[in-house]
Amino acid sequence: MISIAVVSGKGGTGKTMFAGSIAHLLQNEGMYADCDVDAANFGILLGIEIQRTMPFFGSSKATIDPDLCTGCGLCMENCRFGAIIKQDVNTFAVDSLRCEGCNVCVYVCPENAVLFKSYQNGILLLSKTRYGGPLSHAELYPGSGVSGLLVSDVKKQAQNEIGNQRITMADGPPGIGCPVISTLIGVTICIIVTEPTISGLHDLKRILEIINTDICKPIIVINRSDLDPIRTEEIISWCSERNILVAGCIPYDPAVIDAVRKEIPVVSIESSTGDAIRTIWDTIKHEIEYGG
């Protein structure tokens, strides 16, 4: 089984556009996961039909039993997150969006009136796609700080649903935070989509710092490469000095916008971007099969 993650280090590089195109080329060979649980949109390009939903309980939140609470206010005095609200003279409640589950209120309450209950932070979904391979994805509720844990569940579900697919491909979230690290765990090929800008190279360097290259092979794709040829050559040179493979460059192409508006991968229509992505995928496949 080949495990691939498509990441970017920053938003707006064309990561999901590229991942959606590879899914189109893989067809039934691929099992897909959308690890951007804060703003999942991989399914837009894959044409999904939801088959199953499950609640995701990623944390516990405090609740106050009004029958036991005597209104002493110790919970509010000691809550550093401002999650305890005074409703009237002798009644307190918990703002679940502010509660971080630190347990201090439970510790200081002399009446054992504060309880911890499992809190639903989102939903885990499984969908079929127009390309045959299923998609594991999720929706994290606003204000929930457990995105890395939900990403882990998305990946576990994808592994459990593997049938005849020989490749699992995850569309990762932007940045280098906890959900990205969770996305990269267990991955053998990491495709980093970057762009020829100062921030593009900066964030490319940052994400390479969190990749264990002994386990996961990084492969670089430069999108909109012709917008700044000098910066593109700088990225290629920087990668070459460190023996990091640049699989290819994708030109700026208005056809990408048209494809996204139609909710289809750009490789499904005639375009210079589609041609470039096919060539890049051939290079990546060769690296997977023969590059070690």
Express each pLDDT in 140-186 by its tens digit.
998 787 899 999 999 999 998 887 778 899 999 998 999 999 999 99
Measured distance CA(262)–CA(277) in Å, rounded: 19
Residues composing the chain: 292
pLDDT in tens, 215-249: 899 999 999 999 999 999 999 999 999 999 999 99
Torsion of CA 266, 153, 95, 175, to 10 degrees: -50
Q: What is the DSSP letter of 39?
A: S
Question: Strands 114-128, 2-7: parallel, antiparallel or unpaired by DSSP?
Answer: unpaired
* Prediction pTM value: 0.88
Residue type, 63: T
78-110 as b/e: b if 16+ CB within 10 A: ebeeebbeeeeeeebebeeeebeeeebbeeebe
Q: What is the pLDDT, as a whole number, of residue 29?
A: 84
Nearest residue to 121 (alpha-carbon basis) of 182, 58, 178 = 58
Mean of the pLDDT values across residues 121-135? 91
Q: Indicate the burial class of 111 (C-beta count within 10 angstroms; 0-12, 13-18, 19 or more).
A: middle
Given strand 30-34, what is the order of strands in its sheet? 49-64, 114-128, 134-140, 30-34, 167-171, 2-7, 189-194, 217-223, 245-250
Going from the N-terminus, what domains does the chain have, and what CATH number goes with each? Answer: 2-47+131-290 (3.40.50.300), 59-120 (3.30.70.20)
Measured distance CA(103)–CA(100) in Å, rounded: 8
Q: What is the pLDDT, as a whole number, of residue 223?
A: 97
User: Has residue 292 got a pLDDT over 60?
Assistant: no
